[in-house]
Structure 1
Amino acid sequence: MPVSGRRHRALTEDNARLLKENAQLLRDLATVTATLEARDDLIQVLSARPQAQPVKPLGVGYVPAADLRASEDARAILADRLDMLQQANMSLPGVAA
């Protein structure tokens, strides 16, 4: 079916606009998906932590080296996850810096 020049131009512009909107929606979806995956990873890390067990203190201020290393590793993981979540939140549409 033949289409007039004006109609062809309008259809081409509509198509370009829709492709641009689709690309933006795909970027938004990727951002939200990354945020949810980071949240799920954080939940897994937090739920995998051993629960605090009441123990007899070994001395004032004494912390076994293995516990200290595990604690520092957990803090580093959580800090990385927090940074990722903050970056993802700031990149969401409508979120002011």
Structure 2
Amino acid sequence: MPISGRRHRALVEDNGRLLAENAELLKQLTAVTAERDARDDIILELSFRPKATQVEPLGSGWVPASYARASESARALLADRVELLQQANMSLPGVAA
């Protein structure tokens, strides 16, 4: 099916625009994937931390402040991640608010 020069030019321009948009979307996908992988690594690292709380001998119940701070930091980090996941799930098409 023959096409006019004007139509051909319009198709070439559309193709160029779509290729540029595709390249931009691939850049965004790469950035988002890297961010997701970094978050997954953090969560994986947190999941491998020892579960038992170290205490002083004779069961005095003393917990070093650094362990308490690390635990609070981990909880805050996980809470942020849960909030991000909830926001992402709610933004999916077909999910009722």
What TM-score range do you get, normalising by the shorter chain? 0.5 to 0.7
Specify the alignment match of 2:63 in structure 1: 64
Letter in 2 for 1:40: D
Secondary structure, aligned partner of 1:50: coil
Runs (4 or more) in structure 1 with deviation over 6 Å come to none
Letter in 1 for 2:80: D
2:88 equivalent among 83, 90, 95: 90
Segments of 5+ residues of structure 2 without an aligned counterpart are none
Corresponding residue pairs, total: 87
Change in 2 beyond 3 A, CA 1:40/1:21: same
| Paired position in structure 2 for 1:20 | 21
Higher relative CO (CA 8 A, sep ≥ 6), structure 1 or 2?
1
Aligned CA-pair RMSD: 3.4
Quick one: structure 1 residues 46 and 17, their matched pair in 2 at CA, closer, same or farther if it must change by over 3 Å?
A: same
Structure 1: 5+ residue stretches without partners: none
Q: Which residue of 1 aligns with 2:76?
A: 76
